[in-house]
Homo-oligomer: A and B are copies of this chain.
Amino acid sequence: MNDESDHPRQPGRRQFLTTAALAAAATAVGSAPGAQAAKAPGDKTGHAAAAAGGDAEPFWGTHQGGIATRQQGHVYFASFDVVAENRDQVIALLRAWTDAAARLAQGQTAAALTEDPAGEPLDSGEALGLPPRRLTLTFGFGPGLFIKDNVDRYGLAQHRPEALIDLPRFNGDQLVAERTGGDLCVQACADDPQVAFHAVRQLARLAYPAAKMRWAQTGFLAGFGNKETPRNLMGFKDGTMNVAVDDPAALEQFVWVGEEGGWMKHGSYMVARPIRIALEHWDRMKLAFQEQVVGRHKLSGAPLGGQHEKDDLNLDANDADGNPLIPENAHARLGAPASNDGAQILRRGYSYDNGLSFVAERWPPWRQGMEFDAGLMFFCYQRDPRTGFVKVFDKMSKFDMMNQFVTHIGGGLFACPAGAAEGGYIGQALFESA
């Protein structure tokens, strides 16, 4: 986690500012949102980010970044309500976001800075001097972009994908409006939290007045440079059986939308859900019970009955009393492909921690007080949520022993379209659909 050793002299925002940015400032300053920003330097492959050095992730490409990208250390997720007056404003917003995102992914400012003292800075500046830190920006479209209160605001209702369902109410859901829904979303991931925050801040500003922020949640991933599976706040390794992002066949099968998707081809569906964990409650459970809940050993991550983390789940093994070694309502069993007709999703969750919140209702007076407002900011990506998250989570929501400790408090489903080719914009195929 040391910039000096990792990136001794990386060309980043600083170099850009002292050369290209300032030279370009005269033309770019004052350009309206929606206008093309000054073109970022790029090579012929359409992967301009390569020019920004070793810790930049490509922005332009077949797929959006932040999905099959090796998971970064931090996320800033933001959901927006679109209030644009017409379709052209929505397109202008997506163009402005795309242009800014391509620059930000290279470690540049969202727009060229001004040195004109009377100019309004078009970038807030807190990422100046920082390298790209593998920033990815993943954009998604909520159902409300297509139709809202039965109104087809932007002529998109006919193009709403069948897969972009209204998520059903799951057993135990306690979704609060101020953490739920949104017509657009941005998942900003980076290895520096300030880089992720900076990016969303610039996008939120570019959105004005066509869209405004609705809710946001940050998250972090422990020891994200390690090869080992990271642990969640329950103390267990999380992601052992995840779809591998370096397995193109699995990605094609489970994550990327295929020909069936029309304009969503090469895209993916994101489910985002803040899941609060009652950490104080969990911490008082005995080790054996925690392991029964998860279906795995805490220290090694091995499935119950196994020795090593990567051992197969043996869902048929019984103990001496004839009970399943991995309980029928254990989290790992309920989530396993074998329990869900082979369904798999690409999980990309982050721990979150919003400090403390006051908890009164459910406790007697002597227990009332402050609790951690913390848990898992769950993200998953899939080719179709009906055969992905909904398939896997429906049973979990009813039977998972873990439900004693976790509460889904918000979230949404978003259609994340394909990546953009240089000069294009995210969502172009939707707006150009016949």
Contact = CB atoms under 8 A, between A and B. Distances in A.
Interface of A: 1-6, 17, 73, 76, 113-121, 123-130, 133, 178, 191-195, 197, 201, 204-205, 212-218, 220-228, 231-236, 279-280, 282-288, 290-291, 298-299, 351, 353-356, 358, 369-370, 372, 374
Nearest to A130: B223
Given A222-B127, A222-B195, A120 B1 contact: no
B298 A121 contact: yes
B369 A115 contact: no
Number of copies: 2
A125 B356 contact: no
B298 A125 contact: yes
A117 B356 contact: no
A283 B124 contact: yes
A205 B120 CA distance: 49
B117 A287 contact: yes
Nearest to A81: B369
B192 A223 contact: yes
A129 B355 contact: no
Given A114-B287, A283-B205, A370-B213, A1 B4 contact: no
Contacts of A125: 231, 234-236, 298-299
A194 B217 contact: no
Contacts of A191: 1
Contacts of A224: 1, 3
A205 B235 CA distance: 15
Given A232-B126, A285-B120, A4 B212 contact: no
A355 B130 contact: no
A356 B217 CA distance: 8
The 3 A-B residue pairs with the shortest CB-CB distance, nearest first, are A125-B235, A117-B288, A194-B222
